[in-house]
Each structure stands twice: as structure tokens, then as C-alpha cells.
């Protein structure tokens, strides 16, 4: 058996490497050190007992929901992973000012299944349109209320009736048994505050967006968007395509691609004060499954995916057809959907023939958003 060097001593080769220049250290290792140093810097800024308070505050920011056996733990820190991300359109609390008030009963305004491939170097994002007609399985809410099975209902009503637990059950049923490992929920206000915390984002609109119903009016060209403006952009339906959820989803995909590229190039990690502001906003905005409801758990998950950039994320919309007699409703394309879910279960890229030839195909509205 071969043993490493005794604890506390640095091998000569390692010392020589350090003295010969940091440029030989792999880029990802340097990013890892920057991240760890920046997190430490946040605590050092707080100082002494305030450091413990800062950590406690971030932990206290996070809301959680117990999902129990509905979730399947990941096999390892580098295995493939499925995270269900839900954007709630609740008008309760601060969300009312962001969303224009109204009914405080939340629905799943945006639902994304994030599949992170084994090795955690690439990912696929599957959007499930809110107007998709699905079968809701029997489920139990977080409060213990029994919800009976029902066929042919709109997908976003599942969350309204049964919350996170029923939404997870419905997605697993829709996907033919793809197991969800984690659940993350973000509200309107949380998204806008997080965008403000990272300094907003720059986007370039290839086409103008003019949505009288939501009040968003943006000319073609470059824009710097604050949190509220970014929220208005990703929520607009009548400003793109034919006013359906499909056009909005494609715009969201383009926006997310631009945002990933922007944030990955920012110096958030090297600025402790800014990092804390972003962490504070992010944790306030989240409701997660109980296994993620700690800062160290979220940081560990984020760190495991640090190698994923915009170019390595495949944006996908659930294959669907317009319902006969009602163009505001979508019916899943069973054959193409089966190919999509089979690929993700096998941890393989989604094939092109699973995406084309349906109402939710990739080229419905063309390019609207480009990185700023």
C-alpha cells in the first residue's frame, strides 16, 4: 500500500510547482479556490460572532418542503441529477407588487426539469408548458390532504391543487417514471431581487417586444434590464409569437442562455460583499426540498455543477401538439415525448427527432434575445 506525505508537510514537487508559477494550476482549480476564498471573505467581513450570525441568517432565509420518498437521492456527487424547478405565480406578499396583484392562489407559472448529466459538465433543461393537458395521479399535499387522480387537466393547476408534492408526482408520471432528485421553487419577487443582486443583465433584442397587457415595451437593440424588467421580459406572452405559452418558453430559453453567459463572466465570486448580497437574495427567494434547505447543501450542489456553461446546456420544450378545437391547450406528443424521456433516463443527449415536427418545436419564433 502506498501512503501520501505526512500531514502538515508539502512534498518538494508541490513546493516547486507553487514557486514556478500559478499559471500551471488548472483553471477549474483556480475557480474553486476563488469560490472558497470568497465564501470565507463573506464570513470575515462579518467578523467574529457576526460570522456565525451571517451563516445562520442565510440558512434561515430558505423555506423548505418535505417530499420524502417522492425524491430519489443522487447516487454520487458526480452522478446524473434531475432537479424540478418551479416558478410560482402566487400574488401573495411581495409578489403582488411584482405581478400586479390579484388572486393569491399560486400556480406553476414556469416549470423546468433540469437534467444534469453524469460528470456534471453538461445539462438539458426541459420546459413543461403550463397549458399542457395532463393526467394528475393521486397524491398527498404537504399538509396531508389526499388529492384524487384526475385526467385531462391543465398542468399548472396541479400545483394550485396539490402544491410541490403533487407537482413532483405529476412530472414523474408524465415522464414515464423519470425520478426527481431535488425540488426548487422561486417566486416572482425572488427572481427580480436576485437579478438586482447580480447587477441586472444585458440583453440584445433582435426583435422589438410590445406587450400592452403586461406593459413591457422594448425596442430592438441592446438593453440593460433590472430585476423587474427581466421578470416582465420572461413573463411576457402577448409580446412574442402568437401569444401562447410556447413563444414565451422559447424566449425564456434564449434569456437563460444569455444570462448564464453573463453571470459566468461576472466577478461576483471575487467580491465578498456582492457575493453576500447575491446569496442573501437567492436564499430568500427559494423554497427547496428539505435535503437542500441549508447553505452548505446548496453550495455543494452548485459547486458540483461549476463546469456547466451556456454552450453545454440544451434547451428543450416538452413535445406537444395543439389540442383540436382549442389552440390555447397543448396535448403531449406521446411518441416524441417517449424518446425525450428515454434519452434522459439513459443519461444521453435528447435526439433532434424528439423535438421537431410538433407545436413546441425549436423554431417557432426565431431568435429574439442574444447575449448583451
pLDDT in tens, 230-252: 899 888 887 777 777 888 888 88
List strand residue ranges (DSSP E) for 68-225, in order. Answer: 81-88, 108-116, 123-127, 133-136, 139-140, 146-147, 150-154, 182-187, 201-205, 209-211, 216-218, 221-225
Contact 121, 305 (CB under 8 A): no
Q: What is the pLDDT of residue 255?
A: 85
| Cβ atoms < 10 Å from Cβ of 261 | 16
Residue 183's contacts (CB-CB under 8 Å, 6 or more residues apart) are 65, 67, 71, 83, 84, 86, 164, 168, 288, 289, 292
Query: C-alpha 16: how far from its chain's center?
Result: 42
State percent of the chain over pLDDT 70: 76
Residue ranges, the chain, pLDDT below 50: 1-25, 34-48, 91-105
Its pTM stands at 0.80
Q: What is the pLDDT of residue 189?
A: 80
Average pLDDT over the chain, rounded to whole? Answer: 79
Contact 133, 151 (CB under 8 A): no
Please give the angle made by the CA atoms of 161, 167 and 173, to the nearest 5 degrees: 120
Q: What is the pLDDT of residue 266?
A: 58
CA of 280: how far to CAs of 264, 283, 353, in Å?
A: 19, 5, 42
Instruction: Report the alpha-carbon distance of residue 362 to residue 366 in Å, rounded.
Output: 8
Q: What is the pLDDT of residue 237?
A: 82
Instruction: Report the alpha-carbon distance of residue 330 to residue 328 in Å, rounded.
Output: 7
Amino acid at each position: 500500500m502506498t501512503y501520501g506525505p505526512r500531514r502538515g508537510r508539502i512534498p518538494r514537487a508541490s513546493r516547486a510547482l507553487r514557486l514556478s508559477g500559478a499559471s500551471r494550476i488548472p483553471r477549474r482549480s483556480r475557480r474553486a479556490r476563488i469560490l472558497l476564498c470568497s465564501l470565507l471573505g463573506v464570513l470575515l467581513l462579518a467578523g467574529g460572532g457576526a460570522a456565525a450570525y451571517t451563516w445562520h441568517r442565510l440558512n434561515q432565509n430558505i423555506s423548505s418542503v418535505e417530499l420524502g420518498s417522492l425524491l430519489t437521492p443522487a447516487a454520487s456527487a458526480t452522478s446524473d441529477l434531475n432537479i424540478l424547478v418551479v416558478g410560482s405565480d402566487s400574488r401573495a406578499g411581495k409578489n403582488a407588487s411584482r405581478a400586479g396583484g390579484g388572486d393569491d392562489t399560486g400556480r406553476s407559472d414556469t416549470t423546468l426539469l433540469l437534467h444534469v448529466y453524469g460528470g456534471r459538465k453538461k445539462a438539458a433543461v426541459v420546459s413543461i408548458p403550463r397549458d399542457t393537458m395532463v393526467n394528475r395521479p393521486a397524491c398527498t399535499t404537504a399538509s396531508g390532504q389526499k388529492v384524487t387522480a384526475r385526467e385531462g387537466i391543465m398542468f399548472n393547476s396541479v400545483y394550485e391543487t396539490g402544491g410541490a408534492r403533487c407537482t413532483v408526482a405529476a412530472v414523474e408520471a408524465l415522464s414515464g417514471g423519470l425520478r426527481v432528485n431535488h425540488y426548487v421553487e422561486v417566486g416572482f419577487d425572488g427572481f427580480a431581487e436576485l437579478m438586482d443582486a447580480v447587477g441586472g443583465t444585458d440583453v440584445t433584442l433582435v426583435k422589438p417586444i410590445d406587450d400592452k397587457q403586461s406593459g413591457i415595451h422594448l425596442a430592438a437593440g441592446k438593453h440593460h434590464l433590472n430585476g423587474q424588467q427581466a421578470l416582465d421580459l420572461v413573463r411576457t406572452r402577448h409580446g412574442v409569437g402568437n401569444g401562447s405559452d410556447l413563444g414565451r418558453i422559447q424566449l425564456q430559453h434564449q434569456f437563460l442562455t444569455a444570462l448564464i453567459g453573463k453571470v459566468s463572466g461576472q466577478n461576483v465570486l471575487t467580491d465578498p460583499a456582492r457575493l453576500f448580497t447575491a446569496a442573501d437574495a437567492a436564499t430568500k427567494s427559494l423554497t427547496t426540498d428539505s435535503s437542500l434547505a441549508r447553505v452548505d447543501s446548496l453550495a455543494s450542489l452548485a459547486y458540483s455543477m461549476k463546469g456547466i456553461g451556456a454552450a453545454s446546456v440544451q434547451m428543450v420544450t416538452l413535445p406537444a401538439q395543439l389540442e383540436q378545437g382549442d389552440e390555447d391547450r397543448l396535448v403531449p406528443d406521446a411518441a416524441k415525448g417517449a424518446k425525450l424521456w428515454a434519452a434522459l433516463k439513459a443519461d444521453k443527449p435528447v435526439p433532434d427527432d424528439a423535438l421537431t415536427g410538433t407545436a413546441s418545436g425549436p423554431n417557432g419564433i426565431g431568435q429574439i434575445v442574444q447575449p448583451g
